[in-house]
Structure 1
Amino acid sequence: MKQALDRIKEYGSRKPIDNFATTNLLNRFKNFTSTLVGRNITFQPSIRPKYAALNYAKLKYGGAPMYGQSYMILKEYVKDNCTFLHADSLTPSILNSHLAKQTHLYRLILNMNPLMLKIIDDVMNKTDMSHFTHLPGLSAVDYLEAQIHTEIKFNRDVKSICISRNELWNAEIETRKLVNQGKAFTVKSRQELEDIYNEFANKNGIELKIL
Protein backbone atom coordinates (compact mmCIF):
# COMPACT_ATOMS: atom_id res chain seq x y z
CA MET A 1 0.00 0.00 0.00
CA LYS A 2 2.79 2.40 0.99
CA GLN A 3 4.57 1.66 -2.29
CA ALA A 4 1.43 2.50 -4.27
CA LEU A 5 0.95 5.80 -2.41
CA ASP A 6 4.59 6.74 -3.02
CA ARG A 7 4.13 6.16 -6.74
CA ILE A 8 1.03 8.36 -6.79
CA LYS A 9 2.92 11.17 -5.06
CA GLU A 10 5.83 10.78 -7.44
CA TYR A 11 3.53 10.92 -10.47
CA GLY A 12 1.79 14.03 -9.17
CA SER A 13 5.06 15.86 -8.64
CA ARG A 14 6.46 15.19 -12.12
CA LYS A 15 7.08 18.13 -14.42
CA PRO A 16 6.72 17.97 -18.21
CA ILE A 17 10.03 17.67 -20.00
CA ASP A 18 8.92 20.21 -22.59
CA ASN A 19 5.72 21.76 -23.91
CA PHE A 20 4.96 18.85 -26.27
CA ALA A 21 1.91 17.74 -24.29
CA THR A 22 0.48 21.26 -24.14
CA THR A 23 1.10 21.86 -27.84
CA ASN A 24 -0.46 18.53 -28.75
CA LEU A 25 -3.56 19.30 -26.66
CA LEU A 26 -3.98 22.72 -28.28
CA ASN A 27 -3.62 21.23 -31.75
CA ARG A 28 -6.27 18.62 -31.01
CA PHE A 29 -8.58 21.29 -29.61
CA LYS A 30 -8.10 23.40 -32.73
CA ASN A 31 -8.73 20.53 -35.15
CA PHE A 32 -11.51 18.62 -33.44
CA THR A 33 -13.54 20.91 -31.18
CA SER A 34 -16.21 22.18 -33.54
CA THR A 35 -18.39 20.71 -36.26
CA LEU A 36 -20.50 23.88 -36.44
CA VAL A 37 -17.84 26.17 -37.94
CA GLY A 38 -15.94 23.59 -39.99
CA ARG A 39 -12.96 23.05 -37.70
CA ASN A 40 -13.30 19.29 -37.26
CA ILE A 41 -10.82 17.87 -39.78
CA THR A 42 -12.39 14.40 -39.60
CA PHE A 43 -15.95 15.53 -40.30
CA GLN A 44 -17.60 14.25 -43.47
CA PRO A 45 -20.80 16.07 -44.60
CA SER A 46 -22.23 12.78 -45.88
CA ILE A 47 -22.68 11.51 -42.30
CA ARG A 48 -25.41 14.06 -41.61
CA PRO A 49 -28.81 12.34 -41.66
CA LYS A 50 -31.03 12.76 -44.70
CA TYR A 51 -34.78 12.99 -44.16
CA ALA A 52 -37.53 11.10 -45.94
CA ALA A 53 -41.06 9.82 -45.38
CA LEU A 54 -42.70 6.41 -45.60
CA ASN A 55 -45.46 6.68 -48.19
CA TYR A 56 -47.55 3.91 -46.64
CA ALA A 57 -50.79 5.15 -48.26
CA LYS A 58 -49.15 5.50 -51.72
CA LEU A 59 -50.19 9.15 -51.97
CA LYS A 60 -49.77 10.75 -55.37
CA TYR A 61 -47.34 13.40 -54.12
CA GLY A 62 -45.38 11.25 -51.68
CA GLY A 63 -45.45 10.66 -47.96
CA ALA A 64 -44.81 14.29 -46.91
CA PRO A 65 -46.44 16.46 -49.61
CA MET A 66 -46.27 19.59 -47.44
CA TYR A 67 -42.59 19.78 -48.44
CA GLY A 68 -43.35 19.68 -52.16
CA GLN A 69 -45.15 17.60 -54.75
CA SER A 70 -42.00 16.18 -56.37
CA TYR A 71 -40.02 13.44 -54.69
CA MET A 72 -37.70 10.45 -55.07
CA ILE A 73 -38.41 6.81 -54.27
CA LEU A 74 -35.40 5.10 -52.73
CA LYS A 75 -34.62 1.42 -53.10
CA GLU A 76 -35.91 -0.92 -50.42
CA TYR A 77 -32.54 -1.78 -48.85
CA VAL A 78 -31.97 1.85 -47.82
CA LYS A 79 -34.43 1.22 -44.97
CA ASP A 80 -31.81 -0.96 -43.29
CA ASN A 81 -29.77 2.19 -42.62
CA CYS A 82 -32.69 4.24 -41.31
CA THR A 83 -34.36 5.16 -38.08
CA PHE A 84 -38.05 6.12 -38.07
CA LEU A 85 -40.43 8.37 -36.15
CA HIS A 86 -44.21 8.56 -36.03
CA ALA A 87 -44.14 12.34 -36.70
CA ASP A 88 -41.89 15.18 -37.78
CA SER A 89 -38.69 15.02 -35.69
CA LEU A 90 -38.98 18.72 -34.83
CA THR A 91 -42.24 18.07 -32.99
CA PRO A 92 -41.60 19.20 -29.36
CA SER A 93 -43.04 16.02 -27.82
CA ILE A 94 -40.64 13.70 -29.69
CA LEU A 95 -38.25 11.70 -27.48
CA ASN A 96 -35.20 9.60 -28.33
CA SER A 97 -37.08 6.57 -26.99
CA HIS A 98 -39.61 7.01 -29.83
CA LEU A 99 -37.01 6.17 -32.50
CA ALA A 100 -37.70 2.92 -34.31
CA LYS A 101 -35.65 0.70 -36.61
CA GLN A 102 -36.49 -2.06 -39.03
CA THR A 103 -36.07 -4.55 -36.18
CA HIS A 104 -38.47 -2.78 -33.79
CA LEU A 105 -41.10 -0.90 -35.76
CA TYR A 106 -43.59 -1.47 -32.93
CA ARG A 107 -42.49 1.92 -31.57
CA LEU A 108 -44.18 3.58 -34.55
CA ILE A 109 -47.45 1.79 -33.81
CA LEU A 110 -47.20 2.56 -30.10
CA ASN A 111 -46.72 6.32 -30.57
CA MET A 112 -48.50 7.26 -33.80
CA ASN A 113 -51.76 9.16 -34.12
CA PRO A 114 -54.63 6.62 -33.76
CA LEU A 115 -56.14 7.88 -37.03
CA MET A 116 -52.86 7.14 -38.81
CA LEU A 117 -52.95 3.60 -37.45
CA LYS A 118 -56.51 3.20 -38.76
CA ILE A 119 -55.45 4.45 -42.20
CA ILE A 120 -52.57 1.94 -42.26
CA ASP A 121 -55.05 -0.81 -41.40
CA ASP A 122 -57.36 0.38 -44.21
CA VAL A 123 -54.50 0.37 -46.70
CA MET A 124 -53.49 -3.15 -45.65
CA ASN A 125 -57.10 -4.18 -46.30
CA LYS A 126 -56.88 -2.91 -49.89
CA THR A 127 -58.43 0.56 -49.46
CA ASP A 128 -57.11 2.73 -52.32
CA MET A 129 -55.90 6.13 -51.11
CA SER A 130 -53.54 6.93 -53.96
CA HIS A 131 -55.92 9.62 -55.28
CA PHE A 132 -55.45 11.70 -52.11
CA THR A 133 -52.86 14.48 -52.10
CA HIS A 134 -52.82 14.34 -48.29
CA LEU A 135 -54.51 12.11 -45.76
CA PRO A 136 -57.83 13.50 -44.45
CA GLY A 137 -57.95 14.23 -40.74
CA LEU A 138 -54.18 14.28 -40.24
CA SER A 139 -52.08 17.40 -39.71
CA ALA A 140 -49.03 18.35 -41.77
CA VAL A 141 -46.63 16.81 -39.23
CA ASP A 142 -48.54 13.52 -38.97
CA TYR A 143 -46.39 11.47 -41.31
CA LEU A 144 -43.88 8.68 -40.81
CA GLU A 145 -40.44 10.28 -40.94
CA ALA A 146 -37.29 8.37 -41.87
CA GLN A 147 -33.79 9.51 -40.94
CA ILE A 148 -31.29 8.04 -43.40
CA HIS A 149 -27.87 7.41 -41.85
CA THR A 150 -25.91 6.67 -44.98
CA GLU A 151 -24.78 8.39 -48.15
CA ILE A 152 -27.34 8.43 -50.97
CA LYS A 153 -26.10 8.00 -54.54
CA PHE A 154 -28.43 8.60 -57.46
CA ASN A 155 -26.96 5.83 -59.63
CA ARG A 156 -27.14 3.28 -56.80
CA ASP A 157 -29.89 4.07 -54.30
CA VAL A 158 -32.66 5.90 -56.18
CA LYS A 159 -35.39 3.81 -57.81
CA SER A 160 -37.61 6.57 -59.23
CA ILE A 161 -37.83 10.33 -59.52
CA CYS A 162 -41.39 11.69 -59.50
CA ILE A 163 -41.80 15.23 -60.85
CA SER A 164 -45.01 17.18 -60.36
CA ARG A 165 -46.36 18.71 -63.56
CA ASN A 166 -47.75 21.56 -61.44
CA GLU A 167 -44.27 22.34 -60.14
CA LEU A 168 -42.87 22.29 -63.68
CA TRP A 169 -45.43 24.94 -64.62
CA ASN A 170 -44.67 26.99 -61.51
CA ALA A 171 -40.91 26.77 -62.10
CA GLU A 172 -41.27 28.37 -65.53
CA ILE A 173 -43.65 31.07 -64.25
CA GLU A 174 -41.51 31.98 -61.22
CA THR A 175 -38.28 31.99 -63.23
CA ARG A 176 -39.86 34.31 -65.80
CA LYS A 177 -40.71 36.71 -62.97
CA LEU A 178 -37.07 36.66 -61.84
CA VAL A 179 -35.89 37.40 -65.40
CA ASN A 180 -38.25 40.37 -65.60
CA GLN A 181 -36.82 41.62 -62.27
CA GLY A 182 -33.25 41.22 -63.54
CA LYS A 183 -32.53 38.47 -60.99
CA ALA A 184 -32.12 35.64 -63.54
CA PHE A 185 -30.81 35.41 -67.08
CA THR A 186 -32.69 32.63 -68.82
CA VAL A 187 -36.01 30.83 -68.61
CA LYS A 188 -36.31 27.09 -69.11
CA SER A 189 -39.62 26.01 -70.58
CA ARG A 190 -41.54 23.13 -69.03
CA GLN A 191 -40.48 20.89 -71.90
CA GLU A 192 -36.83 21.89 -71.54
CA LEU A 193 -36.94 21.09 -67.82
CA GLU A 194 -38.56 17.75 -68.53
CA ASP A 195 -35.84 16.97 -71.08
CA ILE A 196 -33.16 17.76 -68.47
CA TYR A 197 -34.80 15.43 -65.95
CA ASN A 198 -35.08 12.72 -68.59
CA GLU A 199 -31.39 13.00 -69.48
CA PHE A 200 -30.38 12.87 -65.79
CA ALA A 201 -32.62 9.86 -65.11
CA ASN A 202 -31.32 7.94 -68.12
CA LYS A 203 -27.72 8.68 -67.17
CA ASN A 204 -28.24 7.26 -63.67
CA GLY A 205 -30.54 4.35 -64.54
CA ILE A 206 -33.55 5.88 -62.74
CA GLU A 207 -37.20 5.64 -63.69
CA LEU A 208 -38.73 9.10 -64.31
CA LYS A 209 -42.42 9.76 -63.64
CA ILE A 210 -44.21 13.00 -64.49
CA LEU A 211 -47.25 13.29 -62.20
Structure 2
Amino acid sequence: MTPEEKQQILGRLAAGDVASLGDLNISSYGTLEQLEAVMRLVNVLKVSPLDAENVLDKMVKTLQYSELTINFRGHRFFDENIKERWLNVFETGNTQHYMERRDKLEEKFFDYSNKRWQAGPKDVIDRIETYGKYNSGTNIYFEPSLRPKYGALNFARLTNGPAYFFGSSYMILKQYVKHNCTFTDTDSFTYIHDERDATTLLANYHNLHRLIVNMKEDMLTVLHDIANGLFLVDKYRGYIEAQIHGDILFSRDVEKMCIDNFEISSYPDINIIKQIYEEFARQNNIQLIFK
Protein backbone atom coordinates (compact mmCIF):
# COMPACT_ATOMS: atom_id res chain seq x y z
CA MET A 1 0.00 0.00 0.00
CA THR A 2 1.37 3.39 -0.97
CA PRO A 3 1.38 6.34 1.49
CA GLU A 4 -1.24 8.04 -0.71
CA GLU A 5 -3.54 5.00 -0.55
CA LYS A 6 -3.14 4.79 3.23
CA GLN A 7 -4.00 8.47 3.58
CA GLN A 8 -7.12 8.02 1.46
CA ILE A 9 -8.27 5.09 3.61
CA LEU A 10 -7.71 7.01 6.84
CA GLY A 11 -9.48 10.01 5.36
CA ARG A 12 -12.53 7.90 4.51
CA LEU A 13 -12.50 6.48 8.03
CA ALA A 14 -12.40 10.03 9.40
CA ALA A 15 -15.43 10.96 7.26
CA GLY A 16 -17.37 8.24 9.06
CA ASP A 17 -16.06 9.55 12.37
CA VAL A 18 -17.44 13.02 11.58
CA ALA A 19 -20.89 11.57 10.86
CA SER A 20 -20.80 9.47 14.05
CA LEU A 21 -19.83 12.40 16.29
CA GLY A 22 -22.57 14.47 14.68
CA ASP A 23 -25.11 11.72 15.35
CA LEU A 24 -24.14 11.61 19.04
CA ASN A 25 -24.56 15.35 19.40
CA ILE A 26 -27.87 15.45 17.53
CA SER A 27 -29.33 12.48 19.42
CA SER A 28 -28.58 14.07 22.80
CA TYR A 29 -31.26 16.69 22.09
CA GLY A 30 -33.76 14.25 20.60
CA THR A 31 -36.51 14.07 23.24
CA LEU A 32 -36.55 17.80 23.94
CA GLU A 33 -36.64 18.75 20.26
CA GLN A 34 -39.38 16.25 19.51
CA LEU A 35 -41.50 18.08 22.07
CA GLU A 36 -40.53 21.43 20.51
CA ALA A 37 -41.60 20.14 17.09
CA VAL A 38 -44.98 19.02 18.46
CA MET A 39 -45.54 22.40 20.09
CA ARG A 40 -44.62 24.19 16.87
CA LEU A 41 -47.29 22.25 14.98
CA VAL A 42 -49.83 23.22 17.62
CA ASN A 43 -48.84 26.89 17.79
CA VAL A 44 -48.04 27.63 14.14
CA LEU A 45 -50.23 25.25 12.15
CA LYS A 46 -53.00 25.06 14.76
CA VAL A 47 -52.89 21.27 14.79
CA SER A 48 -54.95 19.77 17.59
CA PRO A 49 -52.76 18.79 20.58
CA LEU A 50 -54.40 15.36 20.44
CA ASP A 51 -53.30 14.88 16.82
CA ALA A 52 -49.94 16.64 16.89
CA GLU A 53 -47.74 13.59 17.55
CA ASN A 54 -49.35 11.63 14.72
CA VAL A 55 -49.03 14.60 12.36
CA LEU A 56 -45.37 15.02 13.32
CA ASP A 57 -44.77 11.34 12.65
CA LYS A 58 -46.27 11.66 9.15
CA MET A 59 -44.16 14.74 8.41
CA VAL A 60 -40.96 13.05 9.57
CA LYS A 61 -41.72 9.93 7.52
CA THR A 62 -42.34 12.14 4.47
CA LEU A 63 -38.81 13.50 4.86
CA GLN A 64 -37.30 10.08 5.55
CA TYR A 65 -38.76 8.62 2.36
CA SER A 66 -38.20 11.64 0.12
CA GLU A 67 -35.64 11.08 -2.62
CA LEU A 68 -32.07 12.07 -1.75
CA THR A 69 -30.79 13.80 -4.85
CA ILE A 70 -27.76 15.55 -6.32
CA ASN A 71 -28.40 18.07 -9.08
CA PHE A 72 -25.92 18.69 -11.90
CA ARG A 73 -25.75 20.15 -15.39
CA GLY A 74 -26.43 17.29 -17.75
CA HIS A 75 -24.28 18.62 -20.60
CA ARG A 76 -21.30 19.08 -18.24
CA PHE A 77 -21.43 15.83 -16.24
CA PHE A 78 -18.60 14.14 -18.11
CA ASP A 79 -16.40 17.27 -18.14
CA GLU A 80 -15.21 16.51 -14.60
CA ASN A 81 -13.32 13.36 -15.59
CA ILE A 82 -16.04 11.27 -13.96
CA LYS A 83 -14.83 7.77 -13.09
CA GLU A 84 -16.06 5.75 -10.14
CA ARG A 85 -17.42 8.28 -7.65
CA TRP A 86 -18.96 11.71 -7.22
CA LEU A 87 -16.42 14.34 -6.14
CA ASN A 88 -16.72 17.29 -3.77
CA VAL A 89 -15.39 20.78 -4.43
CA PHE A 90 -12.10 20.12 -2.62
CA GLU A 91 -11.47 17.33 -5.13
CA THR A 92 -12.62 19.16 -8.27
CA GLY A 93 -11.21 22.55 -7.29
CA ASN A 94 -12.57 26.09 -7.39
CA THR A 95 -11.32 29.62 -6.79
CA GLN A 96 -9.26 30.15 -3.64
CA HIS A 97 -11.89 32.58 -2.36
CA TYR A 98 -14.65 29.97 -2.71
CA MET A 99 -12.50 27.24 -1.15
CA GLU A 100 -11.77 29.44 1.87
CA ARG A 101 -15.46 30.27 2.25
CA ARG A 102 -16.51 26.62 1.92
CA ASP A 103 -13.87 25.63 4.47
CA LYS A 104 -15.08 28.30 6.91
CA LEU A 105 -18.62 26.97 6.63
CA GLU A 106 -17.67 23.31 7.06
CA GLU A 107 -15.46 24.14 10.04
CA LYS A 108 -18.42 25.94 11.58
CA PHE A 109 -20.62 22.85 11.29
CA PHE A 110 -18.16 19.97 11.66
CA ASP A 111 -15.09 21.43 13.44
CA TYR A 112 -12.47 19.56 11.42
CA SER A 113 -9.69 21.55 13.12
CA ASN A 114 -11.04 20.75 16.60
CA LYS A 115 -11.18 24.40 17.61
CA ARG A 116 -14.10 23.65 19.95
CA TRP A 117 -12.26 20.78 21.69
CA GLN A 118 -14.85 18.17 20.80
CA ALA A 119 -15.67 15.38 23.20
CA GLY A 120 -14.80 11.93 21.92
CA PRO A 121 -12.00 9.36 21.74
CA LYS A 122 -8.66 11.11 21.26
CA ASP A 123 -7.60 8.93 18.32
CA VAL A 124 -10.85 9.76 16.51
CA ILE A 125 -10.53 13.51 17.12
CA ASP A 126 -6.86 13.44 16.08
CA ARG A 127 -7.67 11.53 12.89
CA ILE A 128 -10.35 14.03 11.90
CA GLU A 129 -8.01 16.96 12.53
CA THR A 130 -5.05 15.40 10.74
CA TYR A 131 -6.89 14.57 7.55
CA GLY A 132 -9.78 17.05 7.70
CA LYS A 133 -8.08 20.38 8.44
CA TYR A 134 -7.73 22.38 5.22
CA ASN A 135 -5.69 25.24 6.70
CA SER A 136 -5.86 27.36 3.52
CA GLY A 137 -4.57 24.42 1.52
CA THR A 138 -1.29 24.11 3.46
CA ASN A 139 -2.00 20.88 5.38
CA ILE A 140 0.02 18.22 3.56
CA TYR A 141 -2.10 15.46 5.14
CA PHE A 142 -5.42 16.98 4.08
CA GLU A 143 -7.60 14.35 2.40
CA PRO A 144 -10.19 16.19 0.28
CA SER A 145 -12.53 13.19 -0.04
CA LEU A 146 -13.17 13.44 3.72
CA ARG A 147 -15.20 16.63 3.23
CA PRO A 148 -18.96 16.37 2.54
CA LYS A 149 -20.69 16.07 -0.79
CA TYR A 150 -23.91 18.05 -1.04
CA GLY A 151 -27.38 16.93 -2.02
CA ALA A 152 -30.99 17.67 -1.10
CA LEU A 153 -34.22 15.96 -0.06
CA ASN A 154 -36.80 16.27 -2.83
CA PHE A 155 -39.76 16.38 -0.44
CA ALA A 156 -41.63 18.80 -2.74
CA ARG A 157 -41.21 16.33 -5.65
CA LEU A 158 -39.75 18.85 -8.08
CA THR A 159 -39.36 17.35 -11.55
CA ASN A 160 -35.97 19.04 -12.01
CA GLY A 161 -34.80 18.16 -8.50
CA PRO A 162 -34.77 20.42 -5.43
CA ALA A 163 -31.40 22.09 -6.18
CA TYR A 164 -32.28 22.84 -9.81
CA PHE A 165 -30.13 26.01 -9.76
CA PHE A 166 -27.10 23.68 -9.90
CA GLY A 167 -28.53 22.02 -13.01
CA SER A 168 -31.82 20.51 -14.15
CA SER A 169 -30.49 16.94 -14.26
CA TYR A 170 -30.09 14.94 -11.07
CA MET A 171 -29.19 11.58 -9.60
CA ILE A 172 -31.22 9.79 -6.94
CA LEU A 173 -29.18 8.05 -4.27
CA LYS A 174 -30.17 4.80 -2.58
CA GLN A 175 -32.14 4.97 0.65
CA TYR A 176 -29.32 3.78 2.92
CA VAL A 177 -27.09 6.73 1.95
CA LYS A 178 -29.33 8.94 4.11
CA HIS A 179 -27.85 7.27 7.17
CA ASN A 180 -24.47 8.83 6.27
CA CYS A 181 -25.99 12.31 6.05
CA THR A 182 -26.59 15.32 8.17
CA PHE A 183 -29.28 17.79 7.09
CA THR A 184 -30.09 21.49 7.38
CA ASP A 185 -33.46 23.09 6.72
CA THR A 186 -31.96 25.30 3.98
CA ASP A 187 -28.68 25.84 2.12
CA SER A 188 -26.04 25.72 4.86
CA PHE A 189 -24.39 28.88 3.49
CA THR A 190 -27.43 30.70 4.91
CA TYR A 191 -25.89 30.11 8.35
CA ILE A 192 -22.30 31.15 7.64
CA HIS A 193 -22.66 34.36 9.70
CA ASP A 194 -25.20 32.98 12.17
CA GLU A 195 -24.05 33.38 15.78
CA ARG A 196 -25.74 30.21 17.02
CA ASP A 197 -23.89 26.94 17.62
CA ALA A 198 -24.10 25.47 14.11
CA THR A 199 -24.16 21.91 15.42
CA THR A 200 -27.62 22.60 16.87
CA LEU A 201 -28.89 23.25 13.33
CA LEU A 202 -27.91 19.81 12.01
CA ALA A 203 -30.38 16.93 11.82
CA ASN A 204 -29.86 13.27 10.97
CA TYR A 205 -32.10 10.52 9.61
CA HIS A 206 -33.45 9.50 13.01
CA ASN A 207 -33.86 13.06 14.30
CA LEU A 208 -35.45 14.92 11.39
CA HIS A 209 -37.88 16.65 13.75
CA ARG A 210 -35.04 19.14 14.31
CA LEU A 211 -35.68 20.39 10.77
CA ILE A 212 -39.33 20.92 11.68
CA VAL A 213 -38.23 23.00 14.67
CA ASN A 214 -35.96 25.18 12.52
CA MET A 215 -37.63 25.50 9.11
CA LYS A 216 -39.46 28.62 7.98
CA GLU A 217 -43.23 28.71 8.27
CA ASP A 218 -43.88 28.45 4.53
CA MET A 219 -41.82 25.25 4.34
CA LEU A 220 -43.50 23.92 7.47
CA THR A 221 -46.93 24.50 5.92
CA VAL A 222 -45.99 22.86 2.63
CA LEU A 223 -44.43 19.83 4.35
CA HIS A 224 -47.60 19.42 6.41
CA ASP A 225 -49.71 19.59 3.24
CA ILE A 226 -47.53 17.06 1.41
CA ALA A 227 -47.58 14.67 4.38
CA ASN A 228 -51.38 14.81 4.25
CA GLY A 229 -51.63 14.36 0.48
CA LEU A 230 -52.83 17.92 -0.16
CA PHE A 231 -50.03 19.21 -2.35
CA LEU A 232 -49.48 19.24 -6.11
CA VAL A 233 -46.10 18.37 -7.60
CA ASP A 234 -43.77 21.20 -8.66
CA LYS A 235 -45.51 24.00 -6.75
CA TYR A 236 -42.87 24.74 -4.07
CA ARG A 237 -39.17 25.51 -4.38
CA GLY A 238 -38.05 24.55 -0.91
CA TYR A 239 -34.58 23.21 -0.27
CA ILE A 240 -33.50 20.85 2.50
CA GLU A 241 -29.76 20.36 2.18
CA ALA A 242 -28.00 17.05 2.80
CA GLN A 243 -24.35 16.90 3.76
CA ILE A 244 -23.21 13.45 2.66
CA HIS A 245 -20.26 12.07 4.62
CA GLY A 246 -18.20 9.44 2.81
CA ASP A 247 -17.78 8.27 -0.76
CA ILE A 248 -20.61 8.16 -3.29
CA LEU A 249 -19.81 5.32 -5.68
CA PHE A 250 -21.88 5.33 -8.84
CA SER A 251 -22.03 1.53 -9.02
CA ARG A 252 -23.03 1.14 -5.37
CA ASP A 253 -24.92 4.21 -4.22
CA VAL A 254 -26.83 5.67 -7.18
CA GLU A 255 -30.32 4.32 -7.89
CA LYS A 256 -31.39 6.47 -10.82
CA MET A 257 -30.27 9.33 -13.07
CA CYS A 258 -32.79 11.80 -14.53
CA ILE A 259 -31.28 13.72 -17.45
CA ASP A 260 -32.91 16.90 -18.73
CA ASN A 261 -33.30 16.74 -22.53
CA PHE A 262 -33.30 20.52 -22.94
CA GLU A 263 -30.10 20.79 -20.94
CA ILE A 264 -28.19 18.23 -23.01
CA SER A 265 -29.51 19.75 -26.26
CA SER A 266 -26.65 22.27 -25.99
CA TYR A 267 -24.18 19.40 -26.46
CA PRO A 268 -22.77 19.30 -30.04
CA ASP A 269 -24.53 16.00 -30.75
CA ILE A 270 -27.40 15.03 -28.45
CA ASN A 271 -27.45 11.43 -29.71
CA ILE A 272 -23.78 11.00 -28.80
CA ILE A 273 -24.21 12.27 -25.25
CA LYS A 274 -27.28 10.07 -24.80
CA GLN A 275 -25.22 7.05 -25.86
CA ILE A 276 -22.50 8.03 -23.39
CA TYR A 277 -25.07 8.25 -20.59
CA GLU A 278 -26.58 4.91 -21.59
CA GLU A 279 -23.20 3.19 -21.46
CA PHE A 280 -22.36 4.86 -18.14
CA ALA A 281 -25.69 3.73 -16.67
CA ARG A 282 -25.22 0.19 -17.99
CA GLN A 283 -21.73 -0.10 -16.50
CA ASN A 284 -22.92 1.14 -13.10
CA ASN A 285 -26.33 -0.59 -13.03
CA ILE A 286 -28.20 2.72 -12.78
CA GLN A 287 -31.73 3.30 -14.02
CA LEU A 288 -31.61 6.07 -16.63
CA ILE A 289 -34.43 8.46 -17.52
CA PHE A 290 -34.33 11.21 -20.15
CA LYS A 291 -37.00 13.75 -19.24
Tell me the TM-score normalised to structure 1 length: 0.68
Q: Which has the higher contact order (CA 8 A, sep 6+)?
A: 2
Find the counterpart in structure 2 of residue 205 from structure 1: 285
Structure 1 residue 195: Cα displacement: 0.9
2:242 aligned counterpart, secondary structure = strand
Cα distance in structure 2, aligned partners of 1:34 and 1:127: 46
CA separation of 1:89 and 1:128: change in aligned 2, threshold 3 A? same
Give the deviation of 1:103 after TM superposition. 2.2
> Which of 273, 280, 289 is the aligned partner of 1:193?
273
Unaligned 5+ segments in structure 1 are 1-30, 173-186
Distance in 2 separating the partners of 1:82 and 1:154: 17
For 2:249 and 2:169, the matched residues in 1 are separated by 18
TM superposition score normalised by structure 2? 0.50
Do the aligned partners of residues 35 and 202 (structure 1) sit closer, same or farther apart at CA in structure 2, a change above 3 Å counting? farther
User: C-alpha separation between the residues in 2 aligned to 1:34 and 1:62?
Assistant: 31
- Residues 95-110 of structure 1: pairs in structure 2 closer than 5 A: 95-110=198-213
Q: Is the Cα–Cα contact under 8 Å of residues 162 and 210 in structure 1 kept in the other structure?
A: yes
**Equivalent position SS for 1:56:** coil
1:69 — aligned with what? 168
2:174 is the alignment partner of 1:78: no
For residues 144-183 of structure 1, the aligned pairs below 5 Å read 144-169=240-265, 171-172=266-267
Is 1:37 the counterpart of 2:140? The answer is no
CA contact (8 A) 2:222 2:231 kept: no
Cα displacement (A) at 1:34:
5.5
Partner residue in 2 for 1:115 = 218
| Kept in 2: contact 1:59–1:129 (CA 8 A) | no
- Count matched residues: 157
Using the TM superposition, give the Cα deviation of residue 67 of structure 1 relative to its aligned residue in structure 2, in angstroms: 1.6
Provide the C-alpha distance between the structure 1 equivalents of 2:282 and 2:257, rounded to a whole number of angstroms.
Answer: 11
The answer for unaligned runs of 5 or more in structure 2 is 1-129
Structure with max Cα Rg = 1
1:87 lines up with 2:174 in the alignment: no
8 Å CA contact 2:152–2:242 kept in 1: the answer is yes
| One-letter code aligned to 1:190 | I
